[in-house]
Amino acid sequence: MNTLTLSNTDARQLFLDRHALAETPAGAAQGDALLDLIRRLGFVQLDSINTVARAHDLILFARRPRYRPEALKSLYETDHALFEHWTHDAAVIPMEFYSWWQLRRQRDAEKLRKQWKNGRRGGFEAQFQTILDQIREQGPVSSSDVGAGEKRGSGGWWDWHPSKTALEYLWRSGALCVVGRDGFRKRYDLTERVVDAALRDAPLSQDRQKATIDWCCTGALDRLGFATPTELAAFWDHITLAEAKEWCAAQLAKGCLQPVQITCADGGARHSFARPDLAADPALERRASKRLRVLSPFDPALRDRKRAERLFGFTYRIEVFVPEAKRTYGYYVFPILQGDKIIARVDMKAFRNEDVLRVKALWPEPGLRWGKGRQSAFEGELTRLTRLAGVSKVGFEDGWLRA
C-alpha cells in the first residue's frame, strides 16, 4: 500500500478540525448541543485550578463562547448525560460510553488493590460494605462523610484514610459513580441508582474485550485524524501499546488503515496510520478560523505535549509544581491559538476581589511579530473571557509584553 505524505499545514488543519478548533467558535452551548461537542471531543478533562477559569470550562468556552459552567453542571448532575472517570486524568465522558469503560474499571481494580494495600490506606477493603450500606441508607456522600473516627491526614492523594481510599476504589472499579462535586469535592452514589441497567457491567468476555480495544482505537483515530499505536493507546488510556499495535496490524492487513508520513514543524517526518480516504477528507480543503483564542493547558489539542511540539513547533511544560525561581514562564500559563498556529503564551489571572483580569506577561513565539492587529484580537478575546472569569475589566501590568 502506498504511503501518503501529509504536509505540516494539512496535518495541523486536520488535527484542529478533529478537536473542534478549526471552525469559528460559535453556536449553542447547553443541553444537546453541548453534549454533542463533548461527544465529538470524546471527553473533557477536569481540573481544580481556577486562575482564570477551570480547565473544563475553558476547554468548552474556547469552542463555544456562549458556554457557561452551569450548562455542564446541568448535563452532569441533573440530566446524568455524563459520567466521571479516568482517561489520562479525571474527566467527564458521555454516559453512552459507560459500558466501554468496563475494561478500564476491571484493570483499575486489579492495579489499585496492589497499589493501595499498604501504608495509611491499608485496610481500605474492610470498609467496602460499611460505605455501601451508608450510601444505600443515606444517599450520596463525599469523603468527609465517611470514616468517622479514622485519623485524617492532609487530604492529599498520598495521605488518604482507609474509608476515603475505599470510596475511590469503589468508584474506580464500578460499584459507585461520582454524581457531582461540591466545590471540587466529589459526591458518590450507588452506580445502580445512576447508570441505566443496559450500560452497567456484565462479565467481561474475550469478545467484549476485543470489541473494547476496537472501540478505543477507532474512537481515538476518529478524534486524532492520524496516529501512531502509542497515540492510540494513550488517547483514552484504557489499552496497552501491544493491543494498539495488534489492532493497527490487523486493520492495515484488511485495508482499513493506510500508512501516512506526517510532516513535522521542524521538517522531519512521523510515520503514522490513517483512514484510507484521508486524502479526500473535507477538512483538508478548509483553513482554520483566524479567530484568536486562549486555550487551557489541558486542552485536548495540547494534552499530548510531544504531538503538539511535532505539529506546531510549540514546546509547553506546565510549571505549577516548579518552584517560582526556577520557572521559565509562570505558574499557570495559557497557550494562544490563532488560525492553525500557536502564536504565544500568556500568564494572567482573574482577581475577582478587584473585578479585573490582569495580564502579567505574554511571550510571542520566536519569530512572530506582535503587532496592532494581534493586540486588538487579543484584547477582544480577553473581553470575552471576562464573562467566564467572573470579572468585568482587563488590565495589563507594566512590561507585560516579553521578548
Q: Is the pLDDT of residue 377 over 70?
A: yes
H-run or E-run covering 263: strand 258-263
- Scored b (16 or more CB within 10 A) or e, 323-343 reads eeeeeebbbbbbbbbbbbbbb
> What 8-state DSSP symbol labels residue 401?
B
User: Cα(13)–Cα(21) distance, rounded to whole angstroms?
Assistant: 9
Q: Is the pLDDT of residue 337 over 60?
A: yes
Domains, the chain, ordered by start = 292-396 (3.40.630)
The angle at the Cα of 287, spanning 59 to 92, to the nearest 5 degrees, equals: 20
Q: Is the pLDDT of residue 156 over 90?
A: no
pLDDT of residue 201: 82
Decide: 388 and 351 in contact? Cβ < 8 Å: no
Q: Is the pLDDT of residue 159 over 80?
A: no
Overall average pLDDT of the 339-362 stretch: 97
pLDDT of residue 47: 93
- The closest of 400, 345, 334 to 368, measured between CA atoms, is 345
379 or 182, which is more confident? 379
Q: For 2-50, give the secondary structure using H, E and C.
A: CCEEECHHHHHHHHHHHCCCCCCCCCCCCHHHHHHHHHHHCCEECCCCC
Decide: 131 and 170 in contact? Cβ < 8 Å: yes
Q: Is the pLDDT of residue 152 over 90?
A: no
pLDDT tens column, 204-259: 999 999 999 999 999 999 999 999 999 999 999 999 999 999 999 999 999 999 99
- Which distant-in-sequence residues (6+ apart) come within 8 Å of 170 by Cβ? 128, 131, 132, 176, 188
H helices within 225-258, ranges in order? 229-236, 241-253
Q: For 293-316, give the secondary structure using H, E and C.
A: EECCCCCCCCCCHHHHHHHHCCCC
Q: Is the pLDDT of residue 148 over 70?
A: yes
pLDDT tens column, 29-70: 999 999 999 999 999 999 999 999 999 999 999 999 999 999
Cβ neighbours, 10 Å, residue 83: 22
Q: Is the pLDDT of residue 119 over 80?
A: no
No. of helices (H) and no. of strands (E), the chain: 13, 13
pLDDT of residue 153: 55
Q: Is the pLDDT of residue 160 over 90?
A: no
Q: Is the pLDDT of residue 150 over 80?
A: no
The angle at the Cα of 214, spanning 46 to 9, to the nearest 5 degrees, equals: 65
pLDDT of residue 2: 81
Q: Which pLDDT band, with edges at 50, 70 and 90, does 116 fall under?
A: confident
Q: Is the pLDDT of residue 154 over 80?
A: no
User: Cα(302)–Cα(309) distance, rounded to whole angstroms?
Assistant: 9
- Which distant-in-sequence residues (6+ apart) come within 8 Å of 304 by Cβ? 231, 234
User: Cα(333)–Cα(361) distance, rounded to whole angstroms?
Assistant: 9
Q: What is the DSSP string of 59-102?
A: HHHTT-TT--HHHHHIIIIIS--EEEEESSSEEEEEGGGGGGGH
User: Cα(235)–Cα(221) distance, rounded to whole angstroms?
Assistant: 9
The pTM of this model reads 0.95
User: Cα(237)–Cα(397) distance, rounded to whole angstroms?
Assistant: 41
In one-letter notation, the amino acid at residue 361 is A
Helix (H, G, I), strand (E, B) or coil at 233: helix
| Mean pLDDT rounded to a whole number for the chain | 94
Share of the chain above pLDDT 90, in %: 89
pLDDT tens column, 275-312: 999 999 999 998 999 999 999 999 999 999 999 999 99
